[in-house]
Structure 1
Amino acid sequence: MPEAYERHLVPGVFRPFASDLAVRAGALRPRTVLELAAGTGALTSALLTAVPTASVVATDLNEAMVAAGSAREPRADWQQADAQELPFEDGSFDLVLCQFGVMFFPDRPAAYSEVRRVLAPQGRFMFNSWGTLASHGFGAAFQAALERSMPDGAPSFLEDVPHGYTDPAVVAADLAAAGLTLATVEAVTLEGVAESAASVATGFLTGTPVSAAVQSRDDAQTLQAAITQKLTDCLGPGPVTAPMTATVYTAHHQT
């Protein structure tokens, strides 16, 4: 999964927002940074380019992601860590970052409580999460192709999880329950560029949990080809572009 994620999803889907978040983080001039759910290091690399003097600890729950990320971005200190049980001392970081990870936390207030604990008193927590699936050109087109190819029950993972945490009021309540105050909320729409619709399809089919639902079927190869063709019919041949919307949040200790 890390290889497919890095090859097919990072360039067109994640790197544009990593660049955006890194610029925002750099404006804070952090000295000590903790990144949660760092994946293969798209944000990690962008951050260290924007703030080369920062000390960055990059974490992920998935061992394979940590291995891939540490190989790609050795300037950071990589550690496997559960966001709900962070292995760091109180007040260790003046910035905690998370790109498209909070949606996957089983207990977000618990994870946010850990963020508050390791955050210095004047520190900031900055993260982004996807907007609705309809606001993600690649994701929406892929889901439509998936549903047309699997009328007997296409997995709803994309809508339920990565695109299932879209209400700023809910985010604010989760942060407040953890002793954090939501300071800023900004919707950001960026253009994704991928080498082809086939690459987008491969990324979603092999670099996300959607793969389990497809690969478990006897007709997995035929199904994957059908989804890829439908996505190509929708997005077109050759390099493809699509708008994608996410929300950037910043929070700090309650006063």
Structure 2
Amino acid sequence: MSETDKLFAGSIPENYDHHMVPLIFASYARDMSERVAALAPKSVLETAAGSGVVTRALAPILSSDARYVVTDLNQPMLDHAKSRQGADSRIIWQKADAQALPFEDAAFDLVCCQFGVMFFPDRPSGYREARRVLRPGGSFLFNAWDRIEENVFASDVTDALATFFPSDPPRFMARTPHGYHDTALIRSDLAKAGFTDVKIETRAAQSRALSARHVALAYCQGTPLRNEIEARGPDRLEAATDHAASVIAIRHGSGEISAKIQAHIILARV
């Protein structure tokens, strides 16, 4: 993983929240928040919270006396998430590295992480930290995208940019968001961290957008894929976005469109 794969800065946080969240993250955030609430934790730690889509879904259904610590390594994303959240005395916002959590042992009933583990440079280390801060009987709930071929729009954008930049195609989507799809590897990494009770569910959903242009904007300008595009030419972002939109329109139509997305939901217990 390159350093730019983790760089959510500039206009990316706002574009990410405006375009990517409704496109692929919102339905999984609802699913995760419902799973967390069903476990009735009194203290929750969210790592890699991003723009706060899970936080916004979970806070209204979390127990009124729960403590909810929301963290992310990227301060611009955390600032954006906080700005979108109403005043809530239960929520503590804190910049934190999921691989070196600044919390005491056995401090939480549940740790959750939506589509963040793919960005961990050392996943077993991140999992060990989650296990360390969990109380006995606690739960670690996270999800990870399945292979890019099972996520149609991500695959379409990647293919489109490969034709736009034929000599040096941007591979961020395949390399990072969809690069940790092997469930055997996920189980192995969790075992290295000391988790023995692990359940994995693969869940498909539909990604919907108002137009092909919305999809292209989401991926090309609302993710670190933008960094890869601009590295190939700062003035080529709009042209690359337009090209991706045209390819998606040819494949899916010019009006409202939809396509399959698929992810793994993992529950590991202490």
- Fold equivalence (TM over 0.5): yes
Letter in 2 for 1:73: Q
Q: Counterpart of 2:62?
A: 51
Asked if 1 retains the 8 angstrom alpha-carbon contact of 2:19 and 2:214, the reply is yes
Q: Counterpart of 1:126?
A: 141
Asked if 2 retains the 8 angstrom alpha-carbon contact of 1:185 and 1:250, the reply is yes
1:224 partner SS: helix
Q: Counterpart of 1:222?
A: 239
1:158-237 aligned within 5 A: 158-216=173-231, 217=233, 218-237=235-254
Q: Percent identity?
A: 41
Tell me whether 1:62 sits opposite 2:74 in the alignment.
yes
Alpha-carbon distance between aligned partners in 1 of 2:189 and 2:52, rounded to the nearest angstrom: 26
Taking structure 1 as the reference length, the TM-score comes to 0.95
Alpha-carbon distance between aligned partners in 1 of 2:63 and 2:26, rounded to the nearest angstrom: 18
Alpha-carbon distance between aligned partners in 2 of 1:23 and 1:15, rounded to the nearest angstrom: 12
Asked if 2 retains the 8 angstrom alpha-carbon contact of 1:182 and 1:249, the reply is no
2:81 partner SS: helix
1:180 partner SS: coil
Asked if 2 retains the 8 angstrom alpha-carbon contact of 1:128 and 1:247, the reply is yes
Gaps of 5+ in 1: none
Alpha-carbon distance between aligned partners in 2 of 1:221 and 1:162, rounded to the nearest angstrom: 22
Q: Counterpart of 2:263?
A: 246
**RMSD across aligned positions (CA):** 1.4
Q: Counterpart of 2:83?
A: 71
Alpha-carbon distance between aligned partners in 2 of 1:251 and 1:37, rounded to the nearest angstrom: 17
Gaps of 5+ in 2: 1-11
Letter in 2 for 1:56: Y
Q: Counterpart of 2:8?
A: none
Alpha-carbon distance between aligned partners in 2 of 1:230 and 1:132, rounded to the nearest angstrom: 21
Cα deviation 1:59-102 (Å, max 9, x = unaligned): 11100001000111243321110001111111111010000000
Asked if 2 retains the 8 angstrom alpha-carbon contact of 1:201 and 1:228, the reply is yes
Alpha-carbon distance between aligned partners in 1 of 2:36 and 2:220, rounded to the nearest angstrom: 31
Asked if 2 retains the 8 angstrom alpha-carbon contact of 1:39 and 1:60, the reply is yes
Alpha-carbon distance between aligned partners in 1 of 2:114 and 2:240, rounded to the nearest angstrom: 31
1:87-106 aligned within 5 A: 87-106=102-121
Alpha-carbon distance between aligned partners in 1 of 2:163 and 2:129, rounded to the nearest angstrom: 42
Letter in 2 for 1:137: V
Taking structure 2 as the reference length, the TM-score comes to 0.90
Alpha-carbon distance between aligned partners in 1 of 2:257 and 2:63, rounded to the nearest angstrom: 32
Higher deviation after alignment, 223-232 or 102-111:
223-232
Question: Would you say how many aligned residue pairs link Structure 1 and Structure 2?
Answer: 253
The Cα shift of 1:223 comes to: 2.8
